[in-house]
Structure 1
Amino acid sequence: MNNKFSEILEVIKKSNRILITGHTSPDGDAIGSGLALLLALNKLNETLKKQTEGRGEIYLDKTLRFILEDKTPKNLKFLTHSILIEEFGNYDSKYEFDLMICLDSGNFDRIGRVGELKGENTKVINIDHHISNDRFGDYNYVGDISSTSEILFDFFKEAGIELDHGIAESLYTGIVNDTGNFKHSNTTKKVFKTASELLEYGVEPDEVIKNFFNTKSMEKLKLTGRVLSDFKFVDSHKLVYYYISEAELSELGAGKDDTGGLGELLLSYENASVSLFLREDKGHIKGSFRSKYDVDVNALAGLLGGGGHVKAAGFKTDKTSDEILDIIIKNMSLGGE
C-alpha cells in the first residue's frame, strides 16, 4: 500500500540531512528523477527558509546530496545540472543522513554501496515504478506507470513545487528513457500530457534525443557491431541473446556505459519475442530482458533474483551464462511463451 504524497512531503520537510540515490548502472530515469528531485528540494528549501524568516523563526538549512555508486553515463552529462551528481567513491563526509530517498530501485540492494550511508536512525523513502518492488522503505510510493520521473512530476504538482527548465529537462529525459522515446506500451495519454507540460519550461526534445540517444562513442559503435554480428538465437523459444565478458569489453575499449540499449536493439530482430543481454561485472553477471509480445520477463528475471516490468526486467547473479540460459530456456513457459 502506498503512502500519500502529503505524508512523504511532511517527512521531507522535517528532515535536515537528505540523501537522494538511485540504482547502480543508472539509466535516464534514475539520473533524471534523482536530479529533478535534488533541484526541486533545493527550491522547497528556499521556500521554507523564507516562510520561517517571515515569522521571525530560525531555519536550519537542509543538506541535500544526490549520490550514486556509479559515474554518470556519458550520454546523460548533457543535463544542465549533471555536475551536481556525486559518485560514492568520491564521497568523504562522515555525518549521518536522517533521510534517504531511493528512486527507481526495486529493492534496497539495487542502490549498491550507497546503502552503506544509511545510519541506524536514517528513515528511507522508496519511490519507484517497478511492479516487482518489495516496498523496502519506511515510506513507499510505487506506481505502475511509465517511469519514476512521471511519479515525481505528479508529486511536485501536489506539493506545489514550481518547475523550472532544469527540473523539467531531467524529468523529460527520464520519461523518454523508460518509454523508449514514446514507443513502448507504457506510453499513455497521461505520459503525452505530462511531456507536453514539461515542454512549457523550455525543454527541447530534439536536443534531448540528439544527446541521449543519437550521440555514441566509437567504442559503443564497435560494440554494437560485435553484438549484431555474433548474437545467438534460440528458434524454438524465439529468444535472442548475447553474452559479453569483461575481457571482450576491454578488448573493444568499451565500458559498461556502452552496453546500454543493446537488449532493445537485439529485440528488433524480426523473429524474436524476447531478448536477453548478459554482461559480466566483477565476478557476477548482470542480465537485461526485453519482451516484444506477451512474454512476462519480470517472472523470468524473478527466477534469478531480479525483477522489473512485464516487458522489461533485469537481474544480477553469480551463475554462469550457460546456467542462466539453461534456467531461462527451461522456464520460458513461466513467462507466458
Structure 2
Amino acid sequence: MKEIKEKIDQSNNIIIVGHVNPDGDTVGAGLALLLGLEKKYPEKRIDFVLQDDVPKNIAFLKGCDRIKKIEDVINPNYDLAIFVDSATIERVGKVAKLIGDIFKINIDHHISNPKYGDINIVKDISSTSEIMYSILKDLDIEITLEMGEAIYLGLVNDTGNFAHSNVTDKTFLVASELMRIGVNNNKIVNDFFKTKSYERMKVLGKALSEMVFVEEKKLMYFYLSFEALKNLNAIKDDTEGIVEELINYSGSEVSLFLREEESGKIKGSLRSKHNIDVNKIAGIFGGGGHIKAAGFTTELSPEEIIKKVVENL
C-alpha cells in the first residue's frame, strides 16, 4: 500500500477504468475509489471513465452521474491509470486508448488476471469492492455513506446477495461495517434486484421457455441472437442475470448463456454450482474469470461454442 500511496501522491491526472458492460462490482469499486480520492486529493484531476453506460439498476448510486464516457474526456493527459475489476487490459475496451503506456495499478479479484499492472493487487476474494474497502482504509480515507453504498452494491452484485460460495466471514464484516455507517441493505437490494424493466422480464421469459438441458453433462444453456433481442425491444442490459437463472434448475451443474452482439461476435457467460471449473472452459475461448463464474467473447458460432463446452465438461 505504501507504493500505491506514493504513486497517487506523485500523480496529478488520474484515470480510473473498469470493464465493458459494467456491473455492480465494477461501478461500485470504481465509484468508491473516485469519491475517496477526490476527498483526499481535491487538488488532483480524477476521472472514472467507462466505455459503456451504467446499467439502469445501478444508476441509483449517488455519484454515478460523475462517471464519464470516452467522448466526455477532452484532454486525456493522464499520468496514472487505476484498473478496477478488469481481468485484462483489453476488458476496458476502447478506454484503453486513453491510457497508453502510463503507470498502471491493477486492482482485481479474478483468478485469471495475469497481473498486467506495474502494481498489482489481485486477490481471490468475493469482489473488487471488498478489496477496495481495505484499500480506502489503508489510504486513511474515511468512508462516507456514498462510498459505502457503492462498495455494498459491489458486494451484493458479486456474491448474489451473499448467496455464493465466495462469501467469507471477512465479507460479512465489511458489510457489517458499511451498515454501521448508514448503508441500508433493504434499499440497496431492492433498487438493484427488484427494478427490472418490462423488456428484461420478456427476455427472461424467452430464456426460460427456450433453454436447453444437456442431461449427460448437466448443462443448461440458452442462445439469444441480436435479432431476437431487437424483436423484444430489449438492450444488452436486459440480459443481465440470465445465466444465474439457468443455473437455478435443480438438475444443472453448469449454465451457459450466449448472446450475439451487433458485431456478430458471441458473448458467453458461464456459471457452476459445485466443483466444475468454468474459468478453464472460458479460457478455451480466450476468456476467464473465476472457478464458478467466468465469461468470454468469441467469433465462433453458437453451435461450435456449445460443442466445445460439452466436450470439455
Q: TM-score, normalised by structure 1?
A: 0.91
For residues 317 and 115 of structure 1, the distance between their equivalents in structure 2, rounded to whole angstroms, comes to: 20
Question: Deviation of residue 270 (structure 1)?
Answer: 1.1
Deviations for 1:75-97, whole angstroms, at most 9, x for unmatched residues? 00110111111122x32413311
Equivalent in the alignment of 1:183? 163
2:290 corresponds to which letter in structure 1? H
For residues 135 and 46 of structure 2, the distance between their equivalents in structure 1, rounded to whole angstroms, comes to: 18
CA contact (8 A) 1:131 1:144 kept: yes
1:86 counterpart SS class: coil
Question: Deviation of residue 123 (structure 1)?
Answer: 0.9
1:322 corresponds to which letter in structure 2? E
For residues 94 and 81 of structure 1, the distance between their equivalents in structure 2, rounded to whole angstroms, comes to: 22
> Where does structure 1 lack aligned partners over 5 or more consecutive residues?
47-60, 333-337
For residues 177 and 16 of structure 1, the distance between their equivalents in structure 2, rounded to whole angstroms, comes to: 32
1:168 counterpart SS class: helix
Equivalent in the alignment of 1:82? 64
Deviations for 1:286-337, whole angstroms, at most 9, x for unmatched residues? 10100011110001001110100000000111111111111111111xxxxx
Instruction: Report matched runs for 1:304-319 at 5 Å.
Output: 304-319=285-300
Q: Which has the larger radius of gyration?
A: 1
Select 1:163's aligned residue among 143, 149, 171.
Answer: 143
CA contact (8 A) 1:150 1:171 kept: yes
1:254 counterpart SS class: coil
Q: Establish whether residue 33 from structure 1 lines up as the match of residue 29 from structure 2.
A: yes
CA contact (8 A) 1:97 1:119 kept: no
Question: Deviation of residue 162 (structure 1)?
Answer: 0.4
In the superposition, relative to structure 1, how do residues 268 and 68 fare at CA in structure 2: closer, same or farther (>3 Å)?
Answer: same
CA contact (8 A) 1:106 1:308 kept: yes
CA contact (8 A) 1:232 1:241 kept: yes
Equivalent in the alignment of 1:249? 229
Equivalent in the alignment of 1:117? 98
Equivalent in the alignment of 2:11? 15
Deviations for 1:60-109, whole angstroms, at most 9, x for unmatched residues? x2111011000000000110111111122x32413311111111011100
Deviations for 1:32-78, whole angstroms, at most 9, x for unmatched residues? 000000000001104xxxxxxxxxxxxxx211101100000000011
Equivalent in the alignment of 1:145? 125
For residues 251 and 299 of structure 2, the distance between their equivalents in structure 1, rounded to whole angstroms, comes to: 30
1:111 corresponds to which letter in structure 2? V
Equivalent in the alignment of 1:291? 272
For residues 175 and 260 of structure 2, the distance between their equivalents in structure 1, rounded to whole angstroms, comes to: 36
Q: Establish whether residue 100 from structure 1 lines up as the match of residue 96 from structure 2.
A: no
1:74 counterpart SS class: coil
2:21 counterpart SS class: coil
1:67 corresponds to which letter in structure 2? V
For residues 268 and 162 of structure 1, the distance between their equivalents in structure 2, rounded to whole angstroms, comes to: 39
Equivalent in the alignment of 1:266? 246
Deviations for 1:181-210, whole angstroms, at most 9, x for unmatched residues? 000001111100000001122111111111
Equivalent in the alignment of 1:58? none
Q: Establish whether residue 130 from structure 1 lines up as the match of residue 110 from structure 2.
A: yes
Q: TM-score, normalised by structure 2?
A: 0.98
How many residues matched?
312
2:41 counterpart SS class: helix
CA contact (8 A) 1:101 1:124 kept: yes
For residues 76 and 279 of structure 2, the distance between their equivalents in structure 1, rounded to whole angstroms, comes to: 38
Equivalent in the alignment of 1:323? 304
1:297 corresponds to which letter in structure 2? V
Q: Establish whether residue 70 from structure 1 lines up as the match of residue 66 from structure 2.
A: no
For residues 124 and 318 of structure 1, the distance between their equivalents in structure 2, rounded to whole angstroms, comes to: 29
% of aligned pairs identical? 48
For residues 155 and 34 of structure 1, the distance between their equivalents in structure 2, rounded to whole angstroms, comes to: 12
For residues 199 and 20 of structure 2, the distance between their equivalents in structure 1, rounded to whole angstroms, comes to: 21
Q: RMSD in angstroms over aligned alpha carbons?
A: 0.9
